[in-house]
Structure 1
Amino acid sequence: MQKQVAYYENLIESFRDTSALEPSSPYFDILKFEEIPGLLQGASGNPFRLNAFVVGLVTGGNFKLGISNEEYEVGAGQVYFTSPWHIRQYQNVKDWTGYIMFFTPEFIFQYPQGEYLFREFRFFHTENGAMVNADGPTHDNLKVQLEKMYYLLRSDHPEKMKMLFHYLNIFLYDCKASFSLDEGQVNSNRDTTLNNFLNSLNNYFIELNKGNMDRALSLKYVANELHLHPTYLSNLLKQQTGKTAAQLVRERLVLEAQSLLKNTDMTVAEVAYYLHFKDNSNFAKFFRHQVGISPSDYRENTKVLQD
């Protein structure tokens, strides 16, 4: 493992550090899994964050995919979705085939429709990504669409990026119609305030990962970001989720702590310092109250499960 989770601001940074490939664009790309360098075959990559939404369609082979605190065994016929705030790690790759599509927030939010697409498409609001099984017709339909986008991206068509944005819309709406998630797996996006609140939490950890955050996550911080009084914000979220804003902040904070303990070799004290807790004791007390066990015991338990 590595000391901290690597963060890549765009596709060029990610590709430069992880492979010999060159992205077709800093903001949008589609690759075939089999094009990704063979060094991943059977190996384990380091955990990382990438400032992009990712959709993978697997047509063959198998591998293990870690998304934040969840690990998935992935094989043919499966589709997965991740977001910029998710920590990802690929392991035990064997003969994988299929398509993987990347698109950054800048790519989808350059058009007004992008914001509505993000709000409607619930797979990108999950805490630990989403993994779904595609039946034969659905799998074939999505494969045809990705293949079409793959070759369009590599063409000389002068309007290809605009066309790809609209093809992406069609692809995601097809996914929305074909797949469903349990309500408990998805953060509700019925209310703009809730959506903005969740985005603020996720952006905090992205900026923290980049080294741009010098304060602890708190309700006061998020409320200030949203230009709302903490009490008013908490009342709005209580109506939408049944939880106060402070509860949601604590849940997101402990999720990040769990991800760091599981995916890096940072000591408990280093995780406490990184997350801007006053000291190790304060962090351990917070973690035990939220999870029921100490940070050290949590790490040991996850190691046992991984082994």
Structure 2
Amino acid sequence: MQKQVTYYENLVDSFKHTSSIEPTSPHLDIQKFEEIPNLIQDSAGNPFRLNAFVIGFVTGGNFKLSISNEAYDISANQLYFTSPWHIRQYSNVRDWKGYILFFTPDFIFQYPQGEYIFREFRFFHTENGMVVHPDQAKQELLRSHLDNMYVLLRSDHPEKMKMLFHYINIFLYECKAAFSQNNPQTSTKDTTLNNFLHSLNNYFIELNKGNMDKALTLKYVANEMHLHPTYLSNLLKQQTGKTAAQLVRERLVLEAQSLLKNTDMTVAEVAYYLHFKDNSNFAKFFRHQVGVSPSDYREQAKNPG
């Protein structure tokens, strides 16, 4: 296990450590799984964070994918989503086939409308990623879109990157429809919740980059959203049944659990990284939220059952 979770700023850095292929661009790429060597076929790969949103569409084979605190058995005809703040780990890869689409925040946010994309798509705001099983008609449509993007990216078209931005938007709306098939209760009107999750997760992106020197609090998130904390909390209570403070604490403890489970950072180092006042304060917070001490949680994660 690593001392800390490796963080890759762009696709070039990530690909150097995980495969022998070169990305088409530092901030956007589409690869076929079968063209990526099964370098981790017989052993678990190391956990890492990548500054990119990733959509994998699997058409064959199988592998295990851990996203933060959740482990998924991925097989044919599944679609999965991960985001920059997720800790990811691939293992037990067996003859995987399909497509994997990478795009960084830098690629999306260079366009004016990019700022609003991820507030629209709830599958990018989940705490432990998302795995979806589209129906057959949707599978064929998604594969067609990915085929077209794969070819366009490797073409000599002078405007291909701009075109791909719009292709990705269309593709994401098709993914949203597949997501809604699996989550019919999802509302399209919860803009405040989407914006809240966007601000919350952006905090961890900046923290992972070493650009955050503040603790995660309700006041911080409310300020980022230009809303009064009480007003924000009341809105979220109506939509989720939980207050904003509860949601902040849950997200913070999830990050702590991920670090305890996926790294060799000491409890004191985790507390310092998450900007707690001291180790005692962190341990008290963690025990109150989880029911066990950070050390006991780590031990249980290493020896489940």
Q: What is the aligned-residue RMSD (CA, Å)? A: 2.3
TM alignment of 1:92-103, pairs within 5 A:
92-103=92-103
Contact 1:204 1:213 in 2 (8 A): yes
1:274 aligns with 2:268: no
Give the Cα separation in 2 of the matches to 1:276 and 1:162: 40
Give the Cα separation in 2 of the matches to 1:32 and 1:255: 32
Q: What whole-Å deviation, never above 9, does each CA across 1:22-75 have from its counterpart, x for those lacking one?
A: 211122110011222332222322111112111101111111000111100111
Contact 1:189 1:195 in 2 (8 A): no
Alignment partner, residue 283 of structure 2: 284
Structure 1 residue 270 displacement after superposition: 1.9
Give the Cα separation in 1 of the matches to 2:289 and 2:249: 8
Higher mean displacement: 106-115 or 59-68: 106-115
Cα distance 1:126–1:189, how it changes in 2: closer, same or farther (>3 A)?
Answer: farther
Alignment partner, residue 161 of structure 1: 161
Q: What whole-Å deviation, never above 9, does each CA across 1:171-217 have from its counterpart, x for those lacking one?
A: 22222223334479x7x774544333322221221222122222322
Q: Which amino acid aligns with 1:56?
A: G
Contact 1:5 1:209 in 2 (8 A): no
Contact 1:216 1:275 in 2 (8 A): yes
Alignment partner, residue 237 of structure 1: 236
Alignment partner, residue 89 of structure 2: 89
Cα distance 1:213–1:179, how it changes in 2: closer, same or farther (>3 A)?
Answer: closer
Structure 1 residue 152 displacement after superposition: 1.1
Unaligned runs of 5+ in 2: none
Q: Which runs of 4+ in 1 moved over 4 A?
A: none
Give the Cα separation in 2 of the matches to 1:171 and 1:62: 23
Q: What whole-Å deviation, never above 9, does each CA across 1:86-138 have from its counterpart, x for those lacking one?
A: 11110111211111001122323333443444222221121111111233333
Give the Cα separation in 2 of the matches to 1:119 and 1:232: 19
Contact 1:45 1:91 in 2 (8 A): yes
Q: Which amino acid aligns with 1:241?
A: T
Contact 1:30 1:150 in 2 (8 A): yes
Cα distance 1:139–1:226, how it changes in 2: closer, same or farther (>3 A)?
Answer: closer
Cα distance 1:282–1:195, how it changes in 2: closer, same or farther (>3 A)?
Answer: same
Give the Cα separation in 2 of the matches to 1:198 and 1:267: 28
Q: Which amino acid aligns with 1:36?
A: I
Cα distance 1:46–1:135, how it changes in 2: closer, same or farther (>3 A)?
Answer: same
Structure 1 residue 150 displacement after superposition: 0.8
Q: Report SS of the residue matched to 2:303.
A: helix
Q: What whole-Å deviation, never above 9, does each CA across 1:7-26 have from its counterpart, x for those lacking one?
A: 22221222233333221112
Q: What whole-Å deviation, never above 9, does each CA across 1:250-294 have from its counterpart, x for those lacking one?
A: 111101011111111222222122212222222121111111222
Contact 1:204 1:217 in 2 (8 A): yes
Cα distance 1:189–1:290, how it changes in 2: closer, same or farther (>3 A)?
Answer: farther
Q: Report SS of the residue matched to 2:259.
A: helix
Contact 2:11 2:23 in 1 (8 A): yes
Alignment partner, residue 247 of structure 1: 246
Give the Cα separation in 1 of the matches to 2:16 and 2:163: 27
| Percent identity (aligned) | 78
Q: Report SS of the residue matched to 2:219.
A: helix
Q: Which amino acid aligns with 1:234?
A: S
Q: Which amino acid aligns with 1:225?
A: E
Give the Cα separation in 2 of the matches to 1:32 and 1:167: 18
Count of residue correspondences: 304
Give the Cα separation in 2 of the matches to 1:68 and 1:189: 26
Structure 1 residue 79 displacement after superposition: 1.0
Q: Which amino acid aligns with 2:202?
A: N
TM-score, scaled to structure 2: 0.90
Alignment partner, residue 79 of structure 1: 79
Q: Which amino acid aligns with 1:240?
A: Q
Structure 1 residue 153 displacement after superposition: 0.5
Higher mean displacement: 97-106 or 128-137: 128-137
Higher mean displacement: 98-107 or 206-215: 206-215
1:223 aligns with 2:232: no
Contact 2:123 2:179 in 1 (8 A): no
